[in-house]
Amino acid sequence: MPDPFIDADITQPTGTSSAYLAAVRLKSPNKNIFRALMSLASAALLIRVMGLVYQIIVTGRFGLGDAMDAYFVAALVPSLVAQLIGGTVEYSVVPVYIRVRSQEGRKRASELFSTLLNVLLVGTVVLMVVMFIFRFEVVHLSAPALGSSSTGLAASLAPFIIPILVLQVLISLLESILNAEGQYGWPAYAGMLVPLTTAIFVLVVGKYFGIVALCVGGLVGLCLQLFVFFIRVRQAKLVYRLNINLRNPAVASILAIAGPALLTALIIQASPLVDQIFASSLSNGSISALNYALKLNSVPVGIIFVSVGRAVLPYLSYQVSSNNMKAFKETLRLYLWAVAITTIAMSAFMTILAHPIVQLLFQRGAFTSEDTALTASTLVGFTLGLAPMAFGFILSKAFNALGKTRVLMFVTIFSVSANAIFDYIFARLWQSMGIALATSAVYCCTMFILLFALRRSIGKLNLLTPPGEVLTVIWKLGLGNNYIRWVSWKQRNSSWFRIQYNVSRQLGRVGVIFAVFIAGMIGMFYNSLYALRVSFGAIIILVFLRYPYVLLIAWALINAFIGSNLPFFNGNNFLSALTIPTFLLMACVPIRQTLKRMPVLVFLAIYLLWALASIGLSPLGTVPFLIFWLSLVDFAALSVLTINVITTRRRMLGLIDAILVPTTFIALYGIYGWLTKQYGVLDSTGVFRAYSIYNAAPGLSLLLSIVIPFAIYRTFTLRGIKRVVGLIVTLILLVGTGVTFSRGAYISLPVAIIVMICFLPSRKLRIGMLSGVVALAVMLVLLETVGHVPLFDRFFTQDIASINGRTYLWQALLQSFDPTRLLGNGLQASDALLASLTVGSIATAPSNLFIGTLYDHGIIGVILLSLVFIVMLVGLIAGLRKATGERRMLYAAALAAFICMLFQSQESNDFWIQAIAVYFWILMALPFALNWSTPKPLPEADEASLDETTQPRMKVVRQEMLEHTSAGPGV
């Protein structure tokens, strides 16, 4: 495990540096970049050497006992949070600071610097206090299985370690600012103070104060480094002011970049975890070989890539701020060539000498020759990806300079997903070397994706043309004549290289077909049935990517049956075929504008991230946890997709019809089961309750309850005989809900319909719907009294006081709840607890959404979930106040569905059941869809006039942005 004090100065996500002043003074910025590169690389090397000496001293003093375990456990969370925040600060501050410094002057730059420093200082101090108060929980989160004595020692060390959070974040900010002012040497070499000071403390007072000397030495080293940085900031003539100006437009720009950058950093942390998960299923020693190979591979990454990134990013940012894209491309091309040449040579060196290197460094004691061979082969797999890794690293800096961190976020999501897929395939073939090769393959894919995206953003890059500096080196090496002869030969035979566009396109298609054919042949060799399914699935996914509306319709038609009692829809990867294109399409939709339309998605995303934090606590395994959690992410993704794809009224009505088709079938199936006493359960009260294709009646009643208001809305949009069909469908859904005999639905659905009536846009509609409700109520009374159908008998049974035994389940969960566990007990921990207890008389689920969430995700989790419902309710009510005509009726239907969901969630936790939640979030998104961007009155013609196309998506987004800008900052 890396040391938090030392690792902060060695492996930070490559600071962001910029040298505006030096770039102005020198005609060629490349000279200054080279000087900065030499300073950064030499400092990184010295820090690694000093870190090695530090490690020798520490291990010699403390060994590998409980004290060091407690130290690493106590330092894990603060150091990880500091690196995430510090890396995000570096990525987001430099481009904006350089723009302010170059365009608005030093005074405005000083104001921005002061605001950032004060905000980070206050925020990190608050976070430090929270960590100190909950230090026992933080230690338990870091190592749940740690012994009681080590846990107590780690908690006692926390007050000496937690302050590194504040110090490291402030150092990251100051380093970014200093690099932006053209100062590289002092900030880089100041990093040696931390290992040097820590080593001195351990040597001098370590035998007296024990492990505390290690902690205090690290804090003193960080304080000295911070002091040096403040001196250099003062010499840079930056004026510090004790103020916070959050209205500064530059702060908003930094926050816009910081959000995707932080999410990218969080996602990046998952890659080593994914590798380790797959390595854990391989032969003994695979995990160790993977980690040893990664350490060796990190040497060129830490020295070359980090140094080049720090040296180049500031100049790229300055060139972007001055709108000098020609210089931007030239600088980028030069360093891509330089890094490519260096890494290719290094890859060849490390590949050839992998075995001797590992043997020299590790083969002694318990490290056998077999371990050397395994580690060396794994190292070869990693070194093959050094060149594409270097390309991706430098290209990511280009996107940072351009402020396009959202592209990096989606590329990172793709890389983590692709890494898991490649690990699964390659690990079966080549063990730990296969995992390393999978990582290299991912770097190749991300390199091409980034190159394609960058070319789309700024035009041709001309990467195949050698930069002038490279040609100069070639000439000095005496190879100029050879290069001239090669260029002349190429020009004479240029006709061979000029392929018409149509021909090149056909060749590309043939190449793709050939590659797919080869992949199919390999798949057929290993698992023919699986390969065939993947082939058909790939075709379907491509269709969905080309036609997103078809994807939405597929979700509406198929989702209700996935996970049901129908065998065909289970085990055939229907969910994967729908989820993969849904996630991929998120890269093509305007997320920010979508969140402005439906703000509840922000709070849903925060809740899902909070749930993800419990991955180490959940009783589920890591892979089942991620699968289930991704199914929850589907809900937010589908809302985003619905808002952006529903651009016409016909599309919206077609989607509602697609939802009504399966739910009507399910309702009819339930009615048939109730009539024939099948597909249901005989309640303890003697009432037969239908559950159709599911396993419980409450789930069926909840699904039908949220769909019925939209069936009513759809009926009002029809005319003539079609309205009769709509009435029949609505009646079928009502009867299907009735035969579940669910008390929650019997209460919430009438209340929801009455609320919907109150918000209908016209008096005629209200009177008509109210008449229908009265007629339905009369029919229910007749069925109860004359037909002797026990509709209301379950309201007068003995179990009504305990709500059919649910209160016993809630009591068991509340008694086991520990409020000091901030993250709760993990996803589905309440189900696992109740399964181990013999409590109540119904199932083993919490049967209450909020109590279950309280146990699973703690007090913060239930607060976040409550905010989801509150913000959704506020959004619906605000929409009802503004909307008129048909859109008001749709808002009323959504509010009715919301009431049903909220009320019935008090007796079940089916809010997260996919068969229900997918429809709920799609339906909730309909009032916010793009087809309402240009309000239109309810048409009086028949359905032939319903296909009125609204404004194109980008035009709508642009119009919204202009309206928001014209409204002024006070809006």
Element housing 681 (H / E): strand 680-682
pLDDT on residue 588: 79
pLDDT on residue 604: 92
Position with higher pLDDT, 564 vs 897? 897
User: Which string of DSSP letters, residue by residue, matches 417-461?
Assistant: HHHHHHHHHHHHHHHHHHHHHHHHHHHHHHHHHHHHHHHHHH---
Residue 508, classed as helix, strand or coil, is helix
Residues near 948 by beta carbon (within 8 Å), at least 6 away in sequence = 648, 649, 650, 936, 939
* Alpha carbons 313 and 329: distance in angstroms, whole number: 13
Q: How confident is the model at residue 147 (pLDDT cuts 50, 70, 90)?
A: low
Burial of 323 (0-12, 13-18, 19+ CB in 10 A): exposed
pLDDT on residue 508: 55
pLDDT on residue 93: 79
pLDDT above 70 for 395: yes
CB 214 within 8 Å of CB 204: no
* Alpha carbons 207 and 2: distance in angstroms, whole number: 23
The closest alpha carbon to 435, from 369, 382, 494, belongs to 382
CB 633 within 8 Å of CB 601: no
pLDDT on residue 712: 92
* Alpha carbons 97 and 250: distance in angstroms, whole number: 8
Residue 688, classed as helix, strand or coil, is strand
Rounded to the nearest angstrom, the gap between the alpha carbon of residue 833 and the centroid of all alpha carbons in its chain is 29
Residue type, 619: P
CA distance from start to end of the chain: 50
**Average of per-residue pLDDT across 788-814:** 68
pLDDT above 90 for 711: yes
Position with higher pLDDT, 246 vs 315? 246
pLDDT tens digits for range 654-665: 999 999 999 999
Position with higher pLDDT, 391 vs 968? 391
Q: How far is CA 882 from CA 149, 897, 938, in A?
A: 61, 19, 16
Burial of 312 (0-12, 13-18, 19+ CB in 10 A): buried
Q: How far is CA 149 from CA 70, 77, 131, 144, in A?
A: 9, 19, 20, 13
pLDDT above 90 for 955: no
Angle at 923 between CA 922 and CA 926, to 5 degrees: 90
Lowest mean pLDDT among 34-38, 211-215, 699-703, 962-966: 962-966
pLDDT on residue 618: 83
Q: How confident is the model at residue 962 (pLDDT cuts 50, 70, 90)?
A: very low
**Average of per-residue pLDDT across 54-66:** 64
Residue 837, classed as helix, strand or coil, is coil
**Average of per-residue pLDDT across 83-90:** 78
Residue 473 corresponds to which tokens in the numbers above?
A: 């080196």
pLDDT on residue 499: 47
CB 855 within 8 Å of CB 828: no
Lowest mean pLDDT among 50-59, 192-201, 215-224, 255-264: 50-59
pLDDT tens digits for range 486-501: 666 555 555 544 444 4
pLDDT above 90 for 67: no
CB 45 within 8 Å of CB 308: no
CB 744 within 8 Å of CB 903: yes
Residue 248, classed as helix, strand or coil, is coil
Q: How many CB atoms lie within 10 A of CB 520?
A: 16
Q: How many CB atoms lie within 10 A of CB 255?
A: 12
Lowest mean pLDDT among 319-328, 345-354, 552-561, 762-771: 319-328
pLDDT tens digits for range 17-29: 333 333 333 345 5
Position with higher pLDDT, 128 vs 253? 128
- Residue count of the chain: 971
CB 176 within 8 Å of CB 313: no
pLDDT above 60 for 55: yes
Position with higher pLDDT, 710 vs 443? 710
Residue 167 corresponds to which tokens in the numbers above?
A: 């110090």
The closest alpha carbon to 598, from 871, 947, 243, 943, belongs to 871
Residue 690, classed as helix, strand or coil, is strand
Q: Which long-range contacts (CB under 8 A, 24 or more apart) does 147-155 make?
A: 147/66, 149/66, 150/66, 150/69, 150/70, 150/73, 151/70, 151/73, 153/66, 153/67, 153/70, 153/211, 154/69, 154/70, 154/71, 154/73, 154/74, 155/74
Question: Of all residues in the chain, what percent carry a pLDDT higher than 90?
Answer: 12
CB 262 within 8 Å of CB 93: no
Greatest mean pLDDT among 12-26, 578-592, 723-737: 723-737
User: Which string of DSSP letters, residue by residue, matches 388-410?
Assistant: HHHHHHHHHHHHHHHT-HHHHHH
Report H helices in 459-500. 468-476, 480-492, 494-497
Position with higher pLDDT, 858 vs 369? 858
* Alpha carbons 641 and 549: distance in angstroms, whole number: 9
Burial of 682 (0-12, 13-18, 19+ CB in 10 A): exposed
pLDDT above 60 for 1: no
pLDDT above 80 for 188: no
Q: How far is CA 565 from CA 187, 198, 560, 562, 570, in A?
A: 64, 63, 11, 9, 8
Q: How confident is the model at residue 260 (pLDDT cuts 50, 70, 90)?
A: low
Q: Which long-range contacts (CB under 8 A, 24 or more apart) does 279-287 make?
A: 279/427, 279/432, 279/435, 281/427, 282/427, 282/431, 282/432, 283/431, 285/371, 285/374, 286/374, 286/431, 286/432, 286/435
pLDDT on residue 21: 39
pLDDT tens digits for range 459-472: 777 776 776 666 66
pLDDT above 80 for 763: yes
pLDDT tens digits for range 818-856: 877 778 888 888 888 887 776 655 556 778 888 888 888
Eight-state DSSP code of residue 932: G
Burial of 684 (0-12, 13-18, 19+ CB in 10 A): middle
**Average of per-residue pLDDT across 631-649:** 92
Lowest mean pLDDT among 332-346, 574-588, 628-642: 332-346
pLDDT above 70 for 11: no
* Alpha carbons 116 and 233: distance in angstroms, whole number: 14
**Average of per-residue pLDDT across 194-216:** 81
pLDDT on residue 328: 78
pLDDT on residue 20: 38
Residue 648, classed as helix, strand or coil, is strand
Greatest mean pLDDT among 187-191, 357-361, 727-731: 727-731
pLDDT above 80 for 300: no
pLDDT on residue 141: 64
CB 934 within 8 Å of CB 950: yes
pLDDT mean across residues, the chain:
75
The closest alpha carbon to 575, from 640, 641, 631, belongs to 631
* Alpha carbons 604 and 611: distance in angstroms, whole number: 11
**Average of per-residue pLDDT across 134-159:** 73
* Alpha carbons 671 and 692: distance in angstroms, whole number: 8
Element housing 680 (H / E): strand 680-682
Residue 26 corresponds to which tokens in the numbers above?
A: 């020198």
* Alpha carbons 435 and 375: distance in angstroms, whole number: 12
Q: How confident is the model at residue 544 (pLDDT cuts 50, 70, 90)?
A: confident
Q: How confident is the model at residue 524 (pLDDT cuts 50, 70, 90)?
A: low
Position with higher pLDDT, 682 vs 790? 682
* Alpha carbons 336 and 14: distance in angstroms, whole number: 17
* Alpha carbons 289 and 285: distance in angstroms, whole number: 6
